[in-house]
Amino acid sequence: MKKIEFTVQPVACSVRPITYNEDLCIGCGRCAKVCQCDILLPSPEKGKPPIVMYPGECYYCGACVMVCPKPGAITLEHPLMNRAKFVPIKEEPPVS
């Protein structure tokens, strides 16, 4: 059987949805296996975080963060336009 090898290069993008804390990441690859969008590729170096290949394709589902066994190793940051901030309404005193 003929072995086929593929090569890829990370795609530049203005968003960084997923960042890794290399001090906490153990390189288990669970996040790459659970990613619905296949934007993560396991690192060729044992113990290193996966490579974020196509950051613009991220669904921001958070599955990678939820499956990670090391809290804080993966950070998911939604784009500014997707963040919601709810500000409580101030009660105005009744007008007499």
pLDDT digits (tens, 9 = 90+) for 49-66: 999 988 989 999 999 999
Per the prediction, the chain carries an average pLDDT of 88
Q: Are 90 and 66 in contact (CB under 8 A)?
A: no
Domain 25-78 class in CATH: alpha beta
Instruction: List the domain boundaries for the chain.
Output: 25-78
Q: Is the pLDDT of residue 85 over 80?
A: no
Q: Is 71 exposed, middle or buried (0-12, 13-18, 19+ CB in 10 A)?
A: exposed
Report the candidate in 51, 50, 44, 43 with the shortest Cα–Cα distance to residue 11. Answer: 51
Q: Is the pLDDT of residue 91 over 90?
A: no
Report the candidate in 57, 25, 24, 22 with the shortest Cα–Cα distance to residue 40. Answer: 57
Q: Please tell me the predicted confidence (pLDDT) of residue 33.
A: 95
| Number of other CB atoms surrounding residue 94 within 10 Å | 5
Q: Please tell me the predicted confidence (pLDDT) of residue 84.
A: 78
% of the chain at pLDDT higher than 70: 99
